[in-house]
Amino acid sequence: MADILTASDAPPESRARHRELADIIRACDKAYYIDANPLMADTDYDKLYRELADLEKAHPNLITPDSPTQRVGGAPLLGFAQVRHAIPMQSLDNTYSPEEVEGFVDRLIRSLPHVAPEALTFTVEPKIDGVAVTVRYEHGRFVLGATRGDGVTGDDITENLRTIRSLPLSLKTAVPVLEARGEVYFPSASFARLNAQRAAAGEATFANPRNAAAGSLKQLDPRLVARRPLAVVLYGAGQVEGAQIASHTDWLAYLKDQGLPTPERIWHCRDKAELLAAIAELDQVRHTFAYETDGAVIKLNDWRLRADLGSTSKAPRWAMAYKYKAEQAVTKLHSVTFQVGRTGTITPVAELTPVLLAGSTVARATLHNFEEIKRKDIRIGDAVTIAKAGEVIPAVLGVVLSERTGVETEIVPPTACPACGGAVALEGIFLRCTNPNCSAQIKRRVQHFAHRGAMDIEGMGETLAEQLVDSKLVKDIVDIYELSMEKLLTLDRMAKKSAQNILDGIEASKKRDLWRLLFGLGILHVGAGSGRALAEHFGSLDAIAAATEDDLKRINDVGDVVAASVASWFRVQENKDRIERLRAAGLQMESAGRPAAAVDGPFRDKSFVITGTLSKSRDEMADFIRGLGGKIAGSVSKKTDFLVAGDDAGSKLAKAQQLGVKIVSETELMALAGLPTV
Ligand code: IVH
């Protein structure tokens, strides 16, 4: 009887409802993430999703590997296993010149003498600036995903890819083997927000969306990957069994029909002129795509002819990439303004004569800090070159010196805060306003508290935050909860209806989960990620306030810097008063989620310091160690259990030797973790 136990303990109506819910949610995911045509409101979707999750909780044997609930990310991995690609993942030959595109066509015509030149057809599609991956489905089920690695062997990132909503976990039909290749990308529209959140939390920002996608996929904890809005586009083929495909056009149509995401535009061309026209047209429209593109990929359409041409050791002979030149523009810097952030950091901003760049008009660009201005010798009145860093955030690259006339003036750092007139101090390379009651800082704090990623107070954006602070109705974030209809109606052009909406938004925010409050409070270095980790672990604000720095450090995702900052924030009397006022206002101070268990692993409770050059970046190595339960400290002390030392280790190595701290190489660390070291 045991073998018919499958989903048997669930009553038939639950089984049927499970199947129905899973189907509806899959259809919604496809409509939302692939077709950009949502089928229902988010709240309705959430309701169905919760019903599915509850059903699975009651009857765990209803869970299938392709259930929509299986995307949230499982336990952290110890490291990525290596997988050998069934068919190697190659690269492409690149060119920047139209002549070479013509040369490519001539070469194909010469190499295929048995085919009439008019019979050759080509496709042109976007070259997506993401991370190359391969995904493998067997009998219609997603079974394996990997990075390109060296082209022959890559990292097994199956668990991370499962969290990507635009990648279906099952196909429309149970085709025996379907391996598709493509790019995972970080949507351009979400990139600025990610970097803003990271900067707010004091974390390193990503250079561009590709970098953000790569950084996300390298995480060993799929739960962290699940929080990033990654997406995927597929265009290439690996091993395929059980489908008859004759051309690239066929292949893309087949992928689409199976429910897989494919490039949103593709051009069919018969000759050189059509190819060059398609490349030019793609350049015009590519900035409207959800992903960054850095070129066009030209492919011979016919798969049989591709096989005749074969490959060089690196790239196929039937395709080539045409790269667009990184877009830059020259314009005049007519003045510099100073922006005061919520922690008081003063950022110089270049005010420019508006200029068209990569599809949008740019009138302002960041100058980062005064050190950068000095290094690049940028002056007011200069002609400057601007570019979008990673095609997103405009930055001033440098000065066109040949255009200098001698009337340009130096950019002088302000000696008082441009917003409140308070004292400023130089901290490292950053200038900071030291007045905690600075109106600009309060405005930014209110805006941060209310923004979508934190307390999500509808209607309270930049403009309202400024009005509230300027009118002195709000001198501190806590004052938000003392706003009334009467007070709001004193504001310029405030109608009763919008005032009521704002009050409703404020009321709704009282129910937000604890992590949002933690993030919204603007504690230095606490981002949404560490806010969640704290809320989940401790379960209540009081428990966090009572925790010692060491208690805080023990949590995965909370480093030494965050722990110190949180502990000291809760020691300040003003902050204690703030919490009491928020409690009195009726805010949610307990986490809705259950406290998470500490990460158990071979490194549990062990403290590590990392130094020198290793095969991974310092952050990756730290993630790896934390994933195994270890803690990372910034400096060596008697409490350090291990110093992980790479090449060129300096003072930390000497200190560890002096204190008798155990020093391990990367290989020894792997051995300690019980991982293979080859
Ligand atoms: S076709 C056999 N098509 O660019 C290799 N590649 O610089 C076939 N890429 O390795 C690759 N968009 O990772 C192809 N539409 C596209 C692409 C694309 C991005 C990547 C891919 C490739 C790299 C070469």
Task: Write the residue with the smallest CA distance to atom 17 of ligand 1.
Answer: 127
- Asked if 607 contacts 628 with a C-beta cutoff of 8 angstroms, the reply is no
Report the alpha-carbon distance of residue 383 to residue 381 in Å, rounded: 7
Q: Could you tell me the distance, in angstroms and rounded to a whole number, from the CA of residue 218 to the centre of ligand 1?
A: 20
Q: How many CB atoms lie within 10 A of CB 326?
A: 11
Homologous superfamily in CATH for domain 82-323: DNA ligase/mRNA capping enzyme (3.30.470.30)
Spell out the CATH class of 514-585.
mainly alpha
Instruction: Please tell me what DSSP assigns to residue 67.
Output: S
Catalytic residue among 30, 57, 127, 652: 127
- Say if residues 549 and 534 touch (Cβ distance below 8 Å): no
282 close to ligand 1 (CB < 6 Angstrom): no
**Is the CB–ligand 1 distance for residue 233 below 6 Å?**
no
pLDDT given at position 678: 36
Q: What is the Cα–Cα distance from 43 to 35, expressed in whole angstroms?
A: 19
Residue 610: which residues within 8 A CB-CB, separation 6 or more?
Answer: 618, 621, 622, 625, 632, 643, 644, 646
Does residue 149 come out as left (phi exceeding 0), alpha (psi in the -120 to 50 range) or beta?
left
Question: Residue 41: helix, strand or coil by DSSP?
Answer: coil
Find residue 323's DSSP bridge partners.
Answer: 295
Per residue in 267-280, pLDDT (tens digit) is 999 999 999 999 99
pLDDT tens track for 4-24: 445 557 899 999 999 999 999
Q: Where are the strands (E) in 221-376, listed by range?
A: 231-241, 267-269, 293-300, 319-323, 328-340, 345-357, 360-366
Q: Is the pLDDT of residue 74 over 80?
A: no
What are the tens digits of pLDDT across the range 440-461? 999 999 999 999 889 999 989 9
- Choose the residue to mutate in 128, 134, 291 for probing ligand 1, maximizing ligand atoms within 8 Å of C-beta: 128
Whether 214 lines ligand 1, by a CB cut-off of 6 Å, is: no
What residue segments make up the domains of the chain, in order of their start? 7-70, 82-323, 328-415, 439-509, 514-585, 596-672
Give the CATH number of domain 439-509: 1.10.150.20
Q: Which pLDDT tens digit goes with each residue over 594-604?
A: 443 445 677 88
Q: Ligand 1: which residue has its CA nearest to atom 10? A: 91
Centre of ligand 1 from the C-alpha of residue 131, in Å? 10
17 by Cβ neighbours in 10 Å (0-12 / 13-18 / 19+) ranks as middle
The length of the chain, given as a count of residues: 678
The finding on whether 154 has its CB within 6 A of some atom of ligand 1 is no
CA angle 179, 126, 99 (to 5 degrees): 120
Residue 531 scores a pLDDT above 80 = yes
Going by pLDDT thresholds of 50, 70 and 90, the confidence category of residue 2 is: very low
Secondary structure (DSSP) of 315-360:
SBTTEEEEEPPPPEEEEEEEEEEEEE-TT-EEEEEEEEEEEEETTE
pLDDT (mean) for 403-417? 95
- The answer on pLDDT for 287 being more than 90 is no
What is the whole-number distance in angstroms between the Cα of residue 93 and the centre of ligand 1? 10
| 482 torsion bin: left (phi>0), alpha (psi -120 to 50), beta (else) | alpha
Decide: 232 in ligand 1 pocket, CB within 6 A.
no
- pLDDT tens for 301-311 read 999 999 999 98
Measure the CA–CA gap between 134 and 90, rounded to whole angstroms: 11
For residue 263, give the ligand 1 atom closest to its CA. 15
Distance 678 CA to ligand 1 centre (A): 30
Question: Does pLDDT of 562 surpass 80?
Answer: yes
Nearest CA residue ID for atom 13, ligand 1? 132
Ligand 1: which atom is nearest the Cα of residue 127?
12
Nearest-CA residue for atom 6 of ligand 1: 127
CA of 413 to the centre of ligand 1 (A): 46
Both structure tokens of 251: 């292949």
pLDDT bracket for residue 675 (50, 70, 90): low
Q: What ligand 1 atom has the least distance to the C-alpha of 132?
A: 13
Residue 1, pLDDT > 50, answer no
Which tokens sit at 383? 């002609």
Evaluate: CB of 92 within 6 angstroms of ligand 1.
yes
Across 417-427, average pLDDT: 93
Q: Give residue 357 CA to ligand 1 midpoint distance, Å.
A: 25
Average pLDDT of the chain? 89
Helix, strand or coil, per DSSP, at residue 385: strand
Q: Do domains 439-509 and 514-585 have the same CATH topology?
A: yes
Q: Using an 8 Å Cβ cutoff, are 300 and 319 in contact?
A: yes
CB-CB neighbours of 209 under 10 Å: 25
Confidence of residue 298 (pLDDT cuts 50, 70, 90): very high
320 lines ligand 1 (CB under 6 A): no
For 359-375, what is the mean pLDDT? 83
How far is the centre of ligand 1, averaged over its atoms, from the C-alpha of 127 (Å)? Answer: 6
Residue 377 is classified by DSSP as T
Amino acid identity at 442: I
Quote the pLDDT of residue 676.
58
Is residue 431 scored above 50 in pLDDT?
yes
> CATH fold of 328-415, please?
OB fold (Dihydrolipoamide Acetyltransferase, E2P) (2.40.50)
Check if 132 has its Cβ closer than 6 Å to any atom of ligand 1.
yes
**Beta bridge partners of residue 236, listed in sequence order:** 181
According to CATH, the superfamily of the domain at 7-70 is Helix hairpin bin (1.10.287.610)
Check residue 470 and give its pLDDT: 96
467 CB under 6 A from ligand 1?
Answer: no
In this structure, the strands spanning 345-357 and 430-433 are antiparallel
Residue 89 alpha carbon to ligand 1 centre in Å: 9
Q: Tell me the torsion sign for CA atoms 462, 464, 470, 475.
A: negative
Whole-angstrom distance, CA of residue 52 vs CA of residue 69: 8
- Topology of domain 596-672, CATH: Rossmann fold (3.40.50)
Phi, psi of 362 (to 5 degrees): -115, 125
The Cα–Cα gap between 396 and 377 comes to 11
Atom number, ligand 1, closest to the C-alpha of residue 91: 10
Query: Does 127 qualify as catalytic in the annotation?
Result: yes
